[in-house]
A = this chain, B = another copy of it.
Amino acid sequence: MRGVIRVLLAEDQSMVREALAALLGLEDEIEVIAQVARGDEVVDAARTHRPDVALLDIEMPGLSGIEAAAALHRTEPGIRIVILTTFGRPGYLRRAMESGADAFLVKDAPAAQLADAIRRVLRGERVIDPTLAAAALVDGASPLTEREREVLRASGDGSTNAELARALHLSPGTVRNYLSTAIQKTAARNRAEAVRIARDKGWL
């Protein structure tokens, strides 16, 4: 008989984090041994508490769950990684798997899938929603360069080109060029639509 499965839980919303811990606490052989609220605390907590599985939300301050997964995978490759997110965006899934995640779950899924995924990744399985996997293969790869992504993301709050240029240390002409390419690549008609499309696909 195997022992208890030790889980590190990273989620920035306290109430959701503690609720997930309560949910996992209903499973006999799963124990939440540490909780953190920031992505940049994941690696340290993993070193201190030695979990079997790290359960990571994507949208966290400090580092995103995807960035935290990459850092954890690089430094502590023995720890299995489950990504749990509100947003089942194809680009998120693709980036998560490229960062070394073993499972990708959405918070819309039935609660039973969470404990199930934790058990399965420990057996060496990959766990992904099949519909989401198909979508990620079709349009998960972002056509945007890192710079285009940065400029498009920054433009989402309605900043002018001049403000974007100042904030990103670029010339206004360069900002205009990046935005124009990003609009073209997302097949959008304007900047706001490009932001929306890229966000929905998980490219931002």
Contacts and interface: CB of A to CB of B under 8 A. Distances in A.
A194 B105 CA distance: 34
A190 B191 CA distance: 12
A15 B160 contact: no
Given A19-B20, A19-B23, A20-B19, A14 B192 contact: no
A157 interface: yes
Contacts of A114: 15
B158 A15 contact: no
A2 interface: no
Contact of A26 (B22, B107, B159): B22
Interface of A: 12-20, 22-23, 25-26, 84, 86, 105-111, 113-114, 155-160, 188-196
